Amino acid sequence: MSREAILKKFEPSLDNILYILHELQDNNTQHYISKEDLKACAEYLNLPYSYVHGVATFYTMFSLKPRGQHIIRLCDSPPCHLMGSASLLDYLKKKLNIEIGETTTDSVFTLELSSCLGVCGVAPAMMINDEMFGNLTPEKVDAILEERRKSR
């Protein structure tokens, strides 16, 4: 969908800003909100660019940097921490050879931390794009990443 078509879906009123930003990001193949997106949103809502930038950077689900095809969001809240998410984070960093917030050189994976995903019964857990994974172990992570790499 084109940027204009997305904007047109919504009334140009301030309370639609999160909806618009969500859609712009979801429609971007690199899963982020570009400068052009922010500009278009600001013009459409008749707001200063800085305002839209301010809103977009406040919420953790929005990224202003291009991201990989698969966004890994490892839950780092206390329940997952208790069940071993810290060692999984080290494992993921080492395996993907990236730090938190970075994307692999082949643009396949981006590693992020997430606050509670609400699936604490299967801690430690992570989300890749829209899908949840729980009861994670290094072996399970290996299998999931392998499958994702193939499915690209």
Partner 1 sequence: MNMVRSHVLISIDAGTIMAGARAVEEALVKEIASQGLAEEIAVLETGSIGITGRGVVVVVYPEGIYYAGVTPNDVPELVEEHLLKGRPLKRLMLAEAPKRYVIKREKTGLLKEQPRVVLRNSGIINPESIDEYIAAQGYEAIAKALTSMTPEEVISEVKSSGLSGRGGASFPTGLKWEFARKAPDPEKYIICNADEGEPGTFKDRLILEGDPHKLIEGMLIAGYAVGAQKGFVYIRGEYTLSTERMEKAITEAKAYGLLGAHILDSDFSFDIFIMKGAGAYVCGEETALIESLEGRRGHPRNKPPYPVTEGLWGKPTIVNNVETLANIPEIIKNGATWFKAYGTEKCPGTKVYTILGHVATPGLIETEMGTTLRDIIYEYGGGIKEGKKFKGALVGGAAGAFLGPDMLDVQMDFVNLKEYAAVLGSGAILVMNEDASIVEMLKSVLHFFKHESCGHCVPCRLGTAQLVEIVDRLAAHEGKKEDLDKLLKISKVMRDTSFCPLGQSLYLPISSALKYFKDEILSHVKQAAS
Q: Could you tell me which of 152, 140, 58 has the C-alpha nearest to residue 104?
A: 152
The answer, yes or no, to whether the previous bond of 66 is cis (omega within 30 of 0) is no
Judged on CB neighbours under 10 Å (0-12, 13-18, 19+), 6 is buried
For 84: left if phi > 0, alpha if psi spans -120 to 50, otherwise beta; the answer is left
Residue type, 117: L
Q: How far is the CB of 137 from partner 1 (least distance, A)?
A: 14
Residue of 4, 11, 15, 139 interacting with partner 1 (CB under 8 A): 15
Cβ nearer to partner 1, comparing 4 with 130 = 130
Does 17 bind partner 1 (CB under 8 A)? Our answer is yes
Q: How far is 84 from 87, CA to CA, in rounded Å?
A: 6
Q: How far is 110 from 68, CA to CA, in rounded Å?
A: 5
Residue of 19, 49, 106, 147 interacting with partner 1 (CB under 8 A): 19
Stretch that binds partner 1, among 3-11, 90-98, 127-135, 140-148 (CB under 8 A): 127-135
Residue of 40, 72, 76, 110 interacting with partner 1 (CB under 8 A): 76
Does 145 bind partner 1 (CB under 8 A)? Our answer is no
Does 79 bind partner 1 (CB under 8 A)? Our answer is yes
Does 108 bind partner 1 (CB under 8 A)? Our answer is no
**Given the rule CB under 8 A, which residues bind partner 1?**
13-19, 21-22, 54-55, 58-62, 76-79, 81-83, 86, 113-123, 127, 130-135
